[in-house]
Amino acid sequence: MKLIILDLDGTLYRGSAPVDGAREAVQELLRRGFIIRYLTNNSTAPPDASAAKLRAMGIPAEPEWVVTSAMGAAWMLQGLVRRALVLGESGLVQALEAVGVEVELATEPASGQPIDVVVVGMCRTATYDALARCQGAILDGARFVATNKDATYPIENGRLIPGAGSLVAAVIAATGQEPQVAGKPEPFLIEHLMADVGATREETWVVGDRIDTDIEAARRAGTRSLLVLTGVTHEAPVGCDGLVAPDIRGILPVTSPDSA
Ligand SMILES: [Mg+2]
């Protein structure tokens, strides 16, 4: 089983604009019989929304092909905690509830019920009070889990907004504690996908735009990887010993039947 794990933001699209060649690359990989999975550190959007967004750009996608850092956080906590205080958006709330974790939003009034874990992801409605609630719960003994630590999030026209990592950094600063991290660069989700489809490391490619998350996660999981220059990385890093391509179409020559 040959598996291609594709990052979303900065690899297939930026904001609502598809990256050049994204549709033709994915269509060709499917035609060659590869299994496609989309792995994103973005915890805000549920998988069906990400799949719909890809399809609206003409890129083949099913909700079951999409795995998020929010789902990773939920799988890490499944069966271990009862109630989570969440600084995050609907994708994170849905992922936690899907594995039976009760959710209390940090941006809403406190219920007074015991909190077992604080889960921090990207949250565009975060407030000072919400940060203070997360701080209080962790200092009172709750576990601390982060979906991911990406400091920035790419949007249209090359602009950046603060990512989950910016909020995670605030909670680390406020508590002096480090979180368990579910998303890339941790290899947890790549290993989960390989086991799920029955692919070996040699049969698995990870494609992404961030060296410190996508490519590092591939290195830790022992898979092949390709860095694309359509997201946060704009030029091949000096001394980079991995494969680099201008955009996602670079996966086609390296995975062609002739390249083996
Ligand atoms: Mg990316």
Tell me the per-residue pLDDT of 175-204, one tens digit each, with 9 for 90 and over: 999 999 999 999 999 998 999 999 999 999
The mean pLDDT value for 98-115 works out to 97
List, in sequence order, every beta strand (DSSP E) within 88-199: 102-105, 117-120, 143-146, 152-154, 160-162, 180-181
DSSP 3-state assignment of 36? strand
Amino acid code (one letter) for 136: G
Question: Catalytic annotation on 140?
Answer: no
Question: Which of the following CATH numbers is that of domain 3-41+184-259: 3.30.565.10, 3.40.50.150, 3.30.420.40, 3.40.50.1000?
Answer: 3.40.50.1000
Tokens of 63: 């909700």
Residue 77 CA to residue 84 CA, distance in Å, equals: 10
CB 119 within 8 A of CB 147: yes
pLDDT greater than 80 at residue 130: yes
CB 193 within 8 A of CB 39: yes
**pTM of the complete model:** 0.86
C-alpha 42 to ligand 1 mean position (Å): 9
C-alpha 157 to ligand 1 mean position (Å): 15
C-alpha 247 to ligand 1 mean position (Å): 12
**Which residues have C-beta under 5 Å from ligand 1, the single-atom ion?**
7, 9-10, 209, 231
The mean pLDDT value for 24-36 works out to 97
Query: Could you say which of 9, 116, 209, 247 is catalytic?
Result: 9
CB 68 within 8 A of CB 43: yes
The Cβ of residue 117 has, within 10 Å, a number of other Cβ atoms equal to 24
The Cβ of residue 39 has, within 10 Å, a number of other Cβ atoms equal to 27
Residue 11 CA to residue 249 CA, distance in Å, equals: 10
C-alpha 75 to ligand 1 mean position (Å): 22
C-alpha 39 to ligand 1 mean position (Å): 9
pLDDT greater than 80 at residue 238: no
pLDDT greater than 60 at residue 260: no
Domain 70-181: which CATH class? Answer: alpha beta
C-alpha 241 to ligand 1 mean position (Å): 20
Residue 105 CA to residue 90 CA, distance in Å, equals: 10
**Which residues lie across from 13 on neighbouring strands?**
9, 18
Domain span(s) for CATH 3.40.50.1000 in the chain: 3-41+184-259, 70-181
Q: With CA atoms as reference, report the closest residue to 67 among 36, 34, 89.
A: 36
Query: Could you say which of 7, 116, 209, 214 is catalytic?
Result: 7
C-alpha 230 to ligand 1 mean position (Å): 9
Question: Catalytic annotation on 7?
Answer: yes
Instruction: Specify the pLDDT at position 152.
Output: 87
